[in-house]
Amino acid sequence: MPKIAEDTRAARRDQIIAAALACFARAGYHATTMADVAAQAGVSKGTPYLYFRSKEALFLALYEEWNCGLDERLTAVVAGMPGAARSSPRRTLRAVAAAIAAHVTENAETCRVLMEARALAAHEPILAEAVLAADHQTHRRLEELIAAGVRAGEWPAGTDPGLQARLFAATMYGLMAQWHLAPGSFSWHDAAAAAAGAGPDAENAARAGQPGAVAGLG
């Protein structure tokens, strides 16, 4: 396929995803139709089906793009950490929280729409599969990180890494829900730093974007 055709197709796909985001944000998943997405994108009713077989597949693509963007951010931030900082599980967790905070605030509308994915997963098997797979990967990485922190003495001996990982993830999702119900009602950076157990110096460094306090799991 000629490159110009590939570029055109990719641009049209992005256009449809952006239109879907606007529709989902305005009306929610169930009230949005593929015809709504087509109208928002300014294309014929059948065009979205050339790229996505269903509304569910379109929503799933939006969900996967969000996760890929976050993974890329975390990987890049970890790569930019000094070696000594990268060797500290506690500092890495603080950086994970800071990176999530930045991703949420910079992509607020997408995050707000995709918070609905967790409710939809109870009745939409394909979405449930995607959410559970993402949760499993996140939990595994967090559990490994916290287990390393326990071994390094950065968490108390006897800390259950699996439970601690679930508590951290639940806190972050809870903060997202609160943020989207009342945007600007709290400082995401402060809340994320507190969730990771950061002290005042680490919180200030995270807000300032210093590399020693902003990194991810990778």
Nearest partner of 205 among 186, 190, 184, 217, judged by Cα: 190
Share of the chain above pLDDT 70, in %: 89
Q: Which long-range contacts (CB under 8 A, 24 or more apart) does 135-139 make?
A: 135/169, 138/169, 139/165, 139/166, 139/169
How confident is the model at residue 183, as a pLDDT? 83
Side chain identity at residue 98, one-letter code: A
How would DSSP label each residue in 87-140?
A: T-HHHHHHHHHHHHHHHHHHTHHHHHHHTHHHHHTTT-HHHHHHHHHHHHHHHH
Least-confidence region, from 3-12, 30-39, 62-71, 99-108: 3-12
Model pLDDT for residues 111-157, shown as the tens digit of each residue: 888 888 888 888 888 889 999 999 999 999 999 999 999 999 999 99
Model pLDDT for residues 147-183, shown as the tens digit of each residue: 999 999 999 999 999 999 999 999 999 999 998 888 8
pLDDT reading at 53 higher than 90: yes
- Measured distance CA(173)–CA(169) in Å, rounded: 6
Averaged pLDDT for residues 101-120: 88
Residue with tokens 């169930």: 30
- Measured distance CA(11)–CA(103) in Å, rounded: 23
Question: Three-state SS string across 31-63, please?
Answer: CCCHHHHHHHHCCCCCHHHHCCCCHHHHHHHHH
Considering all CA atoms of the chain, what is the largest pairwise distance in Å, rounded to the nearest integer?
Answer: 61
Q: What is the pTM of this model?
A: 0.79
Length of the chain: 218
Share of the chain above pLDDT 90, in %: 52
CA angle 163, 181, 170 (to 5 degrees): 5
Q: Which two tokens stand for residue 26?
A: 């305005």
> Which domains does the chain show, CATH number per domain?
1-52 (1.10.10.60), 55-213 (1.10.357.10)
Q: pLDDT band for position 184 (50/70/90)?
A: confident
